[in-house]
Chain A
Amino acid sequence: MSEQAIYWKGPGLTRVPFEVYTDPALARQEQDRIFHGATWNYLCLEAELPEGGSYRSTFAGATPVVVVKDNDGEIYAFENRCAHRGALIALEKSGKVDNFQCVYHAWSYNRQGDLIGVAFEKGVKGQGGMPPAFCKEDHSPRKLRVATFCGLVFASFSDDVPPIEEYLGDEICARIERVLHKPVEVIGRFTQALPNNWKLYVENVKDSYHASLLHLFFTTFELNRLSQKGGVIVDESGGNHVSFSMIDPAAADASYKEQGLRSDTDRYRLKDPTLLAGFKEYDDGITLQILSVFPGFVLQQIQNCLAVRQVLPKGQERTELNWTYIGYTDDTPEQRSVRLKQCNLVGPAGFISMEDGAVGGFVQRGIAGAQGQEAILEMGGGETGSSEGRATETSVRGFWKAWRTHMGV
């Protein structure tokens, strides 16, 4: 197979060949170089592993992974793949165990992923069994490095990946701490199956340009206008970003009307405005913060609606988006009620997010047969730096900067 199947015409980041969303060979390279490479994959929340033995089965890219807390309080992650024949070790999405046992031939593993038992290892009545030289210590599923930050559990296959704080960078760390500054609990989980390549979703998350153009709900209710105060932060690697804004009702804005864009209308008003009746819980006044960590993690604060999202590639033209809605453990019933109502904004049926579930598919279908053609990413120039305005694709270019670094293209 030809190594150089990627058709980047230059070193710049303003053009993206459409083949990156369709090329099957590329999907495999991404698994090796990105998801198994020097990156941190988000696995779950620490809050989802409350005690020794609590585990979740999830994925790092396409690779099935078990993440589990042991009695020492540490979190371990290893491939969810029996060393014997490769069957899944953990079949349930979550649970609590003393040890893991593969159902196929009952090989067993402790919570740290060590192979500790081989059924009939010494044979039966002196017959069969493993050769004496077989060493269980040499046969464990691959173990991942685990790092936690603010209750987020990340794992990496790489020994070379920088420590998590360094990987995130100071500005991203501060923006995560801003939201995850006290204990959280899960209030719901939903999965959205997206009919498109995983990168199209990640680009969409980073694309501050589309938000008020595609999403009428945002615009009409002053949740996110490009002319509001806000900005985009892109870290040095390009792969991590924050887009944020603050509602400023005093700042009347005519720019949309001047342009006569579809997404401005005066006649659309809520009959039950309690949907958006939030409460102020952050002193900095930021009402919207979308944060992403390369390759596939999103932390979202939309008013009082908090969620993390895990982006998992499922083949080159399918993606699973795992939404985990959260609240703080010390929420009052009224605050929790607000979060539950605002969850209408996000997820597979979200007034905002439903469109993001569809546009990736529109691109994926649109680029069939588009070999040799490219997407244009020139809004805001060609740079990948932070920006005060949000009419820019800087963080999308940042994604490609990180992607090309990891892929070596």
Chain B
Amino acid sequence: MVDLLALCAFNAAYAQAIDSESLEQWPSFFSENCHYRITHVENQREGLAAGIVYADSRAMLEDRIAALREANIYERQRYRHLLGIPKIESADASGAVARTPFMVARIMATGETLLFATGEYHDRFVVAKNGKLLLAERVAVCDSTVTDTLLALPL
């Protein structure tokens, strides 16, 4: 049975991977055929499918990290995630469906910190054969429709 504590521990590790700049770990939180998307409440309400990040495989998440590391030009920055307590909608031995609120501050190379994004993860977790909890789907639904400057690191 996937329980609240397991989801909390998962989210804590997920946030730490991004916030400690261990971005290469980030795809490993997802299943191979996962869906990951960053959108906002208005698109979600209107059923508009596009995201500012849109992936339907773990390989695509790996590509995004590779692009951030090797291709894209952006100012050095890092995040601080604060994740709320997951609201479990359903859970059994094979997985869970849950929603978790997030707040993400962005710390720029200049030393400034600003509140960059708030929102809610809409998650579907699965338990892999080895017993490991993985995200089959994570849609980061931002509260704001506006992104400041650019979004480089994942939410």
Contact = CB atoms under 8 A, between A and B. Distances in A.
B39 A188 contact: yes
Nearest to B27: A271
Contacts of A217: 67, 71-72
Q: What is the interface of chain B mostly: helix, strand, loop, or mixed?
A: mixed
Given A187-B50, A268-B66, A193 B148 contact: yes
Interface stretch (B17-25, B52-60, B89-97, B120-128): B52-60
A343 B50 CA distance: 7
Interface in B116-134: none
A193 B50 contact: no
A348 B48 contact: no
B149 A192 contact: yes
Contact of A191 (B49, B62, B145, B152): B145
Contacts of A358: 73-75, 149-150
Contacts of B72: 216-217, 351, 354-355
A185 B43 CA distance: 13
Contacts of B38: 349
Nearest to B75: A358
B40 interface: yes
B151 interface: yes
Contacts of A93: 42
B143 interface: no
A65 B149 CA distance: 25
Interface residues of B, number: 36
Contact of B151 (A191, A325, A348): A348
A276 B53 CA distance: 14
Q: What is the interface of chain A mostly: helix, strand, loop, or mixed?
A: mixed
A272 B63 CA distance: 7
Contact of A190 (B49, B52, B62, B70): B52
A193 B64 CA distance: 22
B57 A272 contact: yes
A233 interface: no
Contacts of B55: 344
Contact of A349 (B40, B75, B151): B151
A272 B146 contact: no
A268 B54 contact: no
A268 to B, nearest CB: 5
B53 A344 contact: yes
Contacts of B62: 271-272
A195 B43 CA distance: 24
Given A340-B50, A358-B73, 8 more contacts: A187-B48, A216-B73, A271-B60, A271-B63, A325-B50, A348-B149, A355-B72, A358-B150
23 contacts: A93-B42, A188-B39, A189-B43, A190-B50, A191-B146, A191-B147, A192-B146, A194-B149, A216-B73, A265-B70, A268-B70, A268-B71, A274-B60, A320-B146, A340-B51, A341-B56, A344-B60, A348-B149, A349-B150, A351-B71, A355-B73, A355-B150, A358-B75
